[in-house]
Amino acid sequence: MTRKVTGDWLTRSATQTVCAMLEDAGFQALLVGGCVRNALLGAPVSDIDISTNAHPERVRKIAKSAGLKSIPTGIEHGTITVVADGIPHEITTFRKDVETDGRRAVVAFSDRVEDDAHRRDFTMNAIYAHRDGTVVDPLGGMTDLQDRKFRFIDNADQRIREDYLRILRYFRFHAWYGDPNAGMDAEALAAIAANTEGLGSLSAERITSELMKLLSAQDPAPSVAAMRQCGVLSEVLVGADDRALAPLVHFEGAIGANIDPIARLAALGGPEIAKNLRLSKKQSAKHALLREAVSSTDAIAVIAFKQDEQIAILSGLLRSSLLEMPIQPDLTAQARRGTKAVFPIHSSDLSDQFQGRELGVALRKLEAEWIASDFKLTKAQLLR
């Protein structure tokens, strides 16, 4: 039985035009990777990757003749990005690895899709499709996809040694698309456990990117638990403890909270986040706020007043997860109350008595009294 993929991402004119551009020039155009995998799984499709037997410079000439913009985004690795109707399509020449060192590979171009498939990471990611949707499955990845089983292509140990980032990608993909009830591939886990030292060769930026994607999955707890058992978690996040992650995910679902990877990272702990990861300034600030709020004695309403409603709710969920206690029944109500609270004193109310630094001290003292009263003291009572 011939299997086909479908979806607006495939039938839109931009993607059809790019594929036809290559085929009309006598070359193959096979959609591959995430777009095909996700379409078959019924998941959203974002990036469009196309494999071809046309070499990069030839792709650029074909695109120019078709009046399309091409960008040499990774020409040394055989990748040209062709933009049609504002949509980028990454076109990569069929490749086979010649030499690898765990971080980068020396590749040679190939005319065979089978060579290209064998150098990919997981069987589920080595499924191709023609522009009419007909599936091309050179390595039998459809069986694993139907079982939602992530399995390394050919030899797991060899695949990992080609690029140690594949260790983290394995857990990330399993969190997003794997069957949580089926467990993980034993050969994959054994190979991962034997190669954890290779993670030290990866940049903090690459590790951070993968962890953030992993923690953005609906329920990353089983994958993170497997990372701990394989010795991966301690390699990428020194001192981390995943015991609070599963309760946090449960509590998020209980109150309908949005997924927040930074809150989940805070649940993992680890005393040297800044050394282990490369978070943005915004992410770092949020992580610090959450960790500080969790360890403070401030009520949820007070945290919301000082920060915002989201930080207060996440802090409440983290407290319950880390302390192994039920969530506060009126958590969201208290966070909302704190957000709406308005300190009734303005600097102008004290300017006739205090100036400069003394004015700031007086305002902070009155605010502390007002907060201690659970936001109940009135302006008149505070100024008395």
Question: Average pLDDT, stretch 377-381?
Answer: 95
Which pLDDT does position 311 carry in this prediction? 96
pLDDT score recorded for residue 96: 84
Its pTM stands at: 0.89
Contacts of 272 (CB under 8 A, 6+ apart): 238, 239
Q: pLDDT digit string (tens) for 61-84?
A: 999 999 999 999 988 889 999 999
**pLDDT in the model for residue 1:** 62
Beta bridge partners of 368: none
Distance of CA 157 to the CA centre of its chain: 25
Q: What is the pLDDT of residue 77?
A: 86
- 56 membership: H or E segment, kind and range: helix 56-65
Per-residue pLDDT tens for 277-299? 999 999 999 999 999 998 899 99
The stretches of 237-308 forming alpha helices (DSSP H) are 245-255, 261-268, 273-276, 281-295, 300-306
Average confidence (pLDDT) over 229-248: 96
Contact between 50 and 136 (Cβ < 8 Å): no
Please tell me the chain's helix, strand, coil percentages from 3-state DSSP, rounded to the nearest 5: 55, 15, 35
Look at residue 240 in the predicted model and tell me its pLDDT: 95
Which residues in 239-248 are b (16+ Cβ under 10 Å) and which e? Answer: ebebebbbbb
Cα three-residue angle 126-129-133, rounded to 5 degrees:
150
- In this prediction, residue 260 carries a pLDDT of 97
In the beta sheet, which residues pair with residue 108? 96
Measure the CA–CA gap between 174 and 168, rounded to whole angstroms: 10
The closest alpha carbon to 162, from 223, 109, 114, 95, belongs to: 95
Confidence grade of residue 183 (pLDDT, cut at 50, 70, 90):
confident
Give the C-alpha separation, 117 to 119, whole Å: 6
Mean pLDDT across 207-218 = 97
Alpha-carbon distances, residue 358 vs 353, 361, 365, 369, 378 (angstroms): 9, 5, 11, 17, 22
User: Sorting pLDDT into bands at 50, 70 and 90, what band is 250?
Assistant: very high
User: In which band, very low, low, confident or very high, does the pLDDT at 9 lie, cut at 50, 70 and 90?
Assistant: very high
DSSP 328: P
Contact indicator for 170, 213 with CB cutoff of 8 Å: no
Q: What is the mean pLDDT of residues 189-197?
A: 97
Mean of pLDDT values over 304-311? 96
Q: Give 112-137 pLDDT, tens digit per residue.
A: 999 999 999 999 999 999 999 999 99
pLDDT for 100: 61
Going by pLDDT thresholds of 50, 70 and 90, the confidence category of residue 358 is: very high
pLDDT band with cut points at 50, 70 and 90 for residue 103: low
102 has pLDDT over 60: no
**How high is the pLDDT of residue 107?**
72
Taking all residues of the chain, what is their mean pLDDT, rounded to a whole number? 94
Which has more confidence, 383 or 273? 383
